[in-house]
Structure 1
Amino acid sequence: MITAALIAAATLATPVAGTLGHRRIRQASGARQMRIEAPNGIDEQRYVCIGGIDQWISVRGEDRANPVMLEIHGGPGASNAIYGPRTRAWEKHFTIVRWDMRGTGKTLRRSGTAHQGELSFARMYEDAVEVTRHVRGELGVDRVVLVANSFGSTFGLRLARQYPDLYSAYVGTDQNIHDAGRDDSAHRALLTRLHTAGKRKELATIEEMDADARTWTAEQHAAYAKIAATSDPLTFATMKSVVMKSLWFSPQHSLGELGALGKGMKLSEQILPATAHFDDWADGTTFDLPFFIFQGDQDVLTPTDRAKRFFDDVQAPVKDFALIEDAGHFASFRHPEQFLHLMLTKVRPLVTNQLRLATA
């Protein structure tokens, strides 16, 4: 989970990542890196009417014959579009579809806060189904690889469970597992971490919150995420070196659009309390499609051990769990080369074989 408060904390804790002049130079370099010149490539960004409002969708890849990967970003409200230069190598092997959900980034900036429609999990879930169907039609494919990270994996599990006919595989990273408040180990671990570090103010804030996230307000969800991330050295270092630099130097975003990203994360926090009541085990551990989780080996925001416990109970035609080493949250963006290796060795051969069998 990434929130506006978390971004603000990382910003305050580190110097601005260069002057505006340096930013323009880095943006230009990133734009050159992101050029797609392959004869069968695709590089399209446009607004599509989804759920009654214009929503931004990007489609990029070096070969239209490659498997299509639809990403569901986290946050809520945290666009993956900022990571374009870091994940450029992925586009050699997959056609990457990135979508700014309602209340996020370019979608929010397009029509403004007052015209985002209903900001609820249910409405955004229906948007995801509509985007999936739109992408299948536009690109002429029967199924797409569903890749969901962080809060996006809350949508991802439900999409994979309910619509296996739309997806060739499910890949969760920074996998968020809800258990209706049964497991308080992450809360206890945070208390211990704060006590050991002598962070008395943060400790008092967490102590005032019930261990059961179902009782929290949207503001408390944001406060918990901020404290959990900034008190963990690996997560906070990743926030500063990966997330903030990707945000500041993104060749796809103007300064005004960066402001919209921060505004969107704050706006989207309102959907968090309802999802705290979810129970992924009760909703079902049977998936009728290949199922993968690639998790940071040290994730404290969406705990690795909880994701592994859920994975162990999953029944699927094919399933695999792998750790991304030296990574907490934001694992696929901290180590995009490790994530790509997992996608190429475990996922791509499977989905390309599916395609061959379907067309034989």
Structure 2
Amino acid sequence: MLATIATVSAAALAAPVAGLLGYRQLKRAAFAGKLRITAPAGIEESGFVRIGGIDQWVSIRGEDRRNPVVLEILGGPGASNLVFLPRTRAWEKHFTIVRWDMRGAGFTFAAGGPQGQGELTHQQLYRDALEVTEHLRARLGVDRLLLVANSFGTVLGLRLARNHPELYSGYVGTDQNIIDGGRERTAYDALLARLRAAGRKKEKELAAAVAMGADRSKWTTRDVAEYNKLVLTSDPLSYDTMKTVVMRSLWFSPLHTLRGLRSYLKAMEFSERLQLEAAALDERAEGTDFRIPFFVFQGDSDVLTPPAPARRFFDDVTAPVKEFALIRDASHFASFRHPDRFLDLMLTHVRPAVTAQPAAR
């Protein structure tokens, strides 16, 4: 993912630098104003919390403390969701949203640097997530949180939802990853097909994809970065999303200075090792029985985490309530490309299931 962002960044920065920086400052100021929460019952706080032996950044935002509390599990790995705040501002009318920069990500990485992240493993992130959950239950006075996980965060999100129904009221996965112990190769095969269809223009890329093979357990971190780049840049909708959604959100983030953006990218590079560890996971072996409402909202044209494997896993899930929906005209980053459609799904399917009452529009 980092290689893809770097590729798109280089194209974006081809514009005259002075004009670009001036426009950036204007947009950041406008977004900062948009983000202010002034509702009497609202909450807007952020700062470091001691989690797992290190200081980790936690942001809590919402217009009404009585709303359901969402714990977002970021993707990447290492990609903080805080850059998407202006795009998802409307969500905060209906939910109190906690955005946690886990170790190896965002402001947590920026504060401690590579040496200050401690143990970066899936198991440690799992322990951290439970500690964050307990902190939020006490801080906000709620019994359970609603898990909303995107992209690589769904690996951790599934494990939390599966194992702790006493802590979470429901699970929502978007850009849902399905890691089947190396058996799942839908996205890889589709990549080869796109590159072959492109003919001689993509011969070099095709050779690189064939050389790395479909067995993720044999990949290096460089292979992971190259694979993500090939997948997202070989698909027009995905590449457009990288430019218009991801890069714009990074560049105009009111929370991030230019130095902060460099740190953001370094965090993703630092955290890429988590993808190698994840290659050995098997979601079905860990179980498809969930004792909380279970939802998957997937981009209908997602080429990085295709909807077909997510649907097959969903069909095997047993849960008290479950819903699967496709977000039209969306590849990866579906919830951020179409935040209005994602919110509509949250209000019509998820909120009634976790609160037993519909949300006011």
Give the TM-score, by structure 2 length.
0.95
The residue aligned with 2:91 is 90
Any idea what the Cα deviations from partners look like across 1:207-250, whole Å, max 9, x if unmatched?
10121212211211111111101111111100000000000000
Any idea what the Cα deviations from partners look like across 1:251-271, whole Å, max 9, x if unmatched?
111111111100000000011
The residue aligned with 1:228 is 231
Contact 1:149 1:174 in 2 (8 A): yes
The residue aligned with 2:356 is 353
> Among 290, 295, 312, which residue is 1:292 paired with?
295
Report SS of the residue matched to 1:295.
Answer: strand
Q: Is the aligned partner of 1:204 residue 2:242?
A: no
Contact 2:83 2:255 in 1 (8 A): yes
Give the whole-Å Cα distance in 1 for the aligned partners of 2:137 and 2:113: 28
Give the whole-Å Cα distance in 1 for the aligned partners of 2:285 and 2:353: 29
Matched AA of 1:91: E
The residue aligned with 1:358 is none
The residue aligned with 1:245 is 248
Give the whole-Å Cα distance in 1 for the aligned partners of 2:293 and 2:14: 42
> Among 3, 13, 20, which residue is 1:5 paired with?
3
Report SS of the residue matched to 1:183.
Answer: coil
Task: Compute the displacement of 1:150 (Å).
Answer: 0.1
Alignment gaps of 5+ in structure 1:
356-360
Report SS of the residue matched to 2:224.
Answer: helix
The residue aligned with 1:147 is 148
Contact 1:9 1:230 in 2 (8 A): no
Q: What are the residue-to-residue correspondences of 1:73-222 with 2, within 5 Å? A: 73-197=74-198, 198-222=201-225
> Among 261, 264, 270, which residue is 1:261 paired with?
264
Number of residue pairs matched by the alignment? 353
Contact 1:59 1:95 in 2 (8 A): yes
Identical counterparts, % of pairs: 60
**Closer, same or farther: CA 16–163 of 1 in aligned 2, 3 Å:** farther
Give the whole-Å Cα distance in 2 for the aligned partners of 1:133 and 1:205: 45
Matched AA of 1:275: A
Give the whole-Å Cα distance in 2 for the aligned partners of 1:111 and 1:184: 36
Matched AA of 1:81: L
Give the whole-Å Cα distance in 1 for the aligned partners of 2:323 and 2:80: 27
Instruction: Compare 314-323 and 129-138 and name the one that shifted more.
Output: 129-138
Matched AA of 2:3: A
Give the whole-Å Cα distance in 1 for the aligned partners of 2:169 and 2:189: 38
Any idea what the Cα deviations from partners look like across 1:183-213, whole Å, max 9, x if unmatched?
3232121111112123111111111012121
Q: Is the aligned partner of 1:313 residue 2:316?
A: yes
Contact 1:105 1:258 in 2 (8 A): no
Contact 2:205 2:230 in 1 (8 A): yes
Q: What are the residue-to-residue correspondences of 1:50-61 with 2, within 5 Å? A: 50-61=51-62
Alignment gaps of 5+ in structure 2:
none
Contact 1:218 1:271 in 2 (8 A): no
Give the whole-Å Cα distance in 2 for the aligned partners of 1:41 and 1:183: 43
Instruction: Compare 106-115 and 177-186 and name the one that shifted more.
Output: 177-186
Give the whole-Å Cα distance in 2 for the aligned partners of 1:287 and 1:55: 29
Task: Compute the displacement of 1:323 (Å).
Answer: 0.6
Matched AA of 1:319: K
Give the whole-Å Cα distance in 2 for the aligned partners of 1:125 and 1:333: 25
Give the whole-Å Cα distance in 2 for the aligned partners of 1:272 and 1:183: 15
Give the whole-Å Cα distance in 2 for the aligned partners of 1:354 and 1:116: 41
Give the whole-Å Cα distance in 1 for the aligned partners of 2:107 and 2:191: 34
**Closer, same or farther: CA 187–271 of 1 in aligned 2, 3 Å:** same
Task: Compute the displacement of 1:16 (Å).
Answer: 5.5
> Among 303, 306, 312, which residue is 1:303 paired with?
306
Give the whole-Å Cα distance in 2 for the aligned partners of 1:255 and 1:11: 13
Contact 2:88 2:339 in 1 (8 A): yes
Contact 1:194 1:202 in 2 (8 A): yes
Task: Compute the displacement of 1:146 (Å).
Answer: 0.1
Matched AA of 2:47: R
Give the whole-Å Cα distance in 1 for the aligned partners of 2:357 and 2:274: 36
Report SS of the residue matched to 2:214.
Answer: coil
Contact 1:332 1:339 in 2 (8 A): yes
Contact 2:186 2:309 in 1 (8 A): no
Matched AA of 2:7: A
